[in-house]
Amino acid sequence: MTILLVIALLTFSIAGTAGSTPDQPPDPYVPETGPFTQEQLINYARTYGTPLYVYDGNLIQQKLKRFRGAFEAQYPSVKVFYALKANTNMAIVSLLRNAGAECISLGEMQIAVRLGFRGEDMLFTSSAKTPEELRFAIEHGVTINLDSFGDLENLRKECESRGKRARISFRVNPDVDPHTHRFIATGHRFSKFGILLENDEIIRAYEVARACRWFEICGIQSHIGSQITELEPFERNARLLAEVVRKLRERLGIELRFVNLGGGLGIPYHDGQEVLTPERLAEGVCRVLKEELKGLPRLPALWLEPGRYLVGDSGVLLATVISVKDTPYRDFINVNTGFNHLVRPLLYDAYHRVRVLGRSADLKLYDVAGNICETGDILACDRLLPTPASGDIVAFLDAGAYGFSMASSYNSFDLPAEILVRGDKVDLIRRRGDLEELLRSQSLPEDLRR
């Protein structure tokens, strides 16, 4: 009896990851493969090998246009910044060059500058900015989004020692629950990000900043989380920020030039899933801002920082089936990639649709298992999939955001190659990693050589 219970619990806890749960039937198998046809994907895998990330560049640009258009239809002044962390490949970032760049690190700022972004079209948000990062941001005129009083003091020192002013905003922690996975909920009171509204902490931050001649106070920002599929948390965030904007004007005479609502708009990861659209998001938050800021002589501009929405559904990860393994308990499809290349299922219990290319028969419940030496390396769980043969190609859909950008070299596997498809044009935008790349920055002390 106890053994049965343990087995039942174990099955439940495994089945809960990256797939269906025992009380939910598995999703029916749909052969559709995102922006590409099955034939296209099979050809790419043949030409470039696997594991391979494939992106549809035209789709990325269409999504920027749609996102921006949705907000411009509702609000007089809108600026969109691409959150580079979602996908930092230079080609992808370049496709989004007519957006601004939202950066989290020196590396991301350097990539943006190298690709021709101007400082005034860049934002730097981090909760732990190093002196080197601050210096780079100051020198390039990047808007710096401050996260704490300590951050403010660090920036003041850097500005003073360089004799240069900096454009700033503050990141607010509005204590809003975005109803998403807890690792990607960023605006609740226990998160490490932003300055709380409680006890007017945020007003005090602006007061301190105003007293510092090195700062040009420009705006306010809050990013409440990622993969958000409901309107209400966004509206609540907008309302809370607008309240601060009004208070700052009334109490301190500070007029902010922008309100930055961050990123976070989710995408559908399941077949047939309906999620919030940019149009509904824009309609909702712009209505709130216009209502709440009605009395002001000038509406602040609306800034946004989408990442996933712009690049998520454009990307597919292709892998090769190594073997199929049936056991009395679970059946596995073993593939030549793993959580080193797509960590989202392991880290966030994320669901990525899986397709077995060129097959539709012998549907069976499978776990798709990676090649990493860890039990948690299951990329998809309890999925109804056609039975593949070894050598077949499988596609993980919606892998364009936080796919490659979170990849690692764990277990000394090569990093995947990446290709960019625009109509008939296909470009290799990252060659496959190799051993030399893996070892390039290591050195062997003399006495350990042989």
Catalytic residues: 373
Q: Helix 201-210 to helix 149-162 angle, to the nearest 10 degrees? A: 10
Contact between 402 and ligand LLP by CB under 6 A: the answer reads yes
In whole angstroms, the minimum distance from the beta carbon of 301 to ligand LLP comes to 17
Nearer to ligand LLP, 86 or 256 (CB): 86
- Phi and psi of 383, rounded to 5°? -105, 140
Q: Give the SS3 label for residue 173.
A: strand
Nearest in space to 386 (alpha carbons), one of 404, 365, 411, 414: 365
Least separation in angstroms between residue 226's CB and ligand LLP is 3
In the complex, least distance from residue 128 CB atom to ligand LLP, rounded to whole angstroms: 13
State which of residues 57, 262, 278, 338 lies at the interface with ligand LLP (CB under 6 A). 262
Out of 168, 184, 318, 380, the only residue in the binding site for ligand LLP (CB under 6 A) is 184
Instruction: Report, in Å, the least distance between residue 327 CB and ligand LLP.
Output: 30
Extended strands (E) in 126-193? 143-146, 166-173
Say if residues 278 and 67 touch (Cβ distance below 8 Å): yes
Q: In this chain, which stretch among 21-29, 78-86, 153-161, 427-435 interacts with ligand LLP, using CB under 6 A? A: 78-86
C-alpha 370/C-alpha 302 separation (Å) is: 42
To which H or E segment does residue 67 belong?
A: helix 57-72
Q: Are 408 and 340 in contact (CB under 8 A)?
A: yes
Among 223, 341, 355, 359, binds ligand LLP (CB under 6 A): 223
For residue 227, state whether it binds ligand LLP (rule: CB under 6 A).
yes
86 binds ligand LLP (CB under 6 A): yes
Please identify, among the stretches 11-19, 302-310, 331-339, 360-368, the one whose residues bind ligand LLP according to the rule CB under 6 A.
302-310
Distance in Å, CB of 169 to ligand LLP, minimum? 11
Stretch that binds ligand LLP, among 131-139, 248-256, 303-311, 389-397 (CB under 6 A): 303-311
How far is 348 from 40, CA to CA, in rounded Å? 30
Place of tokens 């690792």: 183
What are residue 170's DSSP bridge partners?
A: 146, 220
Helix (H, G, I), strand (E, B) or coil at 238: helix
Neighbouring residues of 108: CB distance < 8 A, sequence distance ≥ 6: 84, 85, 88, 101
Min dist CB 240 to ligand LLP, Å, is 16
Does 233 bind ligand LLP (CB under 6 A)? Our answer is no
Quickly tell me which residue has 């503050």 as its tokens: 170
Exactly one of 156, 167, 341, 344 binds ligand LLP (CB under 6 A); which one?
Answer: 344
Q: Out of 263, 278, 300, 315, name the contact with ligand LLP by CB under 6 A.
A: 263
CA nearest neighbour of 55 among 269, 303, 312:
312
Residue type, 53: Y
Stretch that binds ligand LLP, among 39-47, 258-266, 327-335, 354-362 (CB under 6 A): 258-266
Please work out, in degrees rounded to the nearest 5, the angle formed at the alpha carbon of residue 244 by the alpha carbons of 243 and 245: 90
Q: Which is nearer to ligand LLP, 171 or 359 (CB)?
A: 171
- Site for ligand LLP (CB under 6 A): which residue of 63, 167, 308, 341? 308
Contact between 60 and ligand LLP by CB under 6 A: the answer reads: no
Backbone φ, ψ for residue 143 (5° rounding): -75, 125
Rg (CA), the chain: 24
- Rounded Cα distance, 141 and 121, in Å: 9
| Piece in contact with ligand LLP (CB under 6 A), picked from 135-143, 305-313, 372-380, 411-419 | 305-313
Q: Choose which of 34, 51, 300, 307 interacts with ligand LLP (CB under 6 A).
A: 307
In whole angstroms, what is the distance from residue 120 CA to residue 137 CA?
10
How many residues line the site for ligand LLP (CB under 6 A)?
Answer: 22
What size, in residues, is the chain?
450
Shortest distance (Å) from residue 20 CB to ligand LLP: 20
Choose which of 29, 44, 348, 413 interacts with ligand LLP (CB under 6 A): 348
Side chain identity, residue 267: I
Q: Shortest Cβ distance from residue 315 to ligand LLP (Å)?
A: 12
Q: Which of the 8 DSSP states describes residue 443?
A: -
Residue 383 contacts ligand LLP per CB under 6 A: no
Task: Decide if residue 170 touches ligand LLP (CB under 6 A).
Answer: no
- List 316's β-bridge partners, or say none: 54
| Residue 305 near ligand LLP by CB under 6 A | yes
The secondary structure of residue 85, as a DSSP letter, is G
Query: In the complex, which residues of this chain contact ligand LLP (CB under 6 A)?
Result: 83, 85-86, 102, 125, 184, 223, 226-227, 262-265, 305-309, 344, 348, 401-402
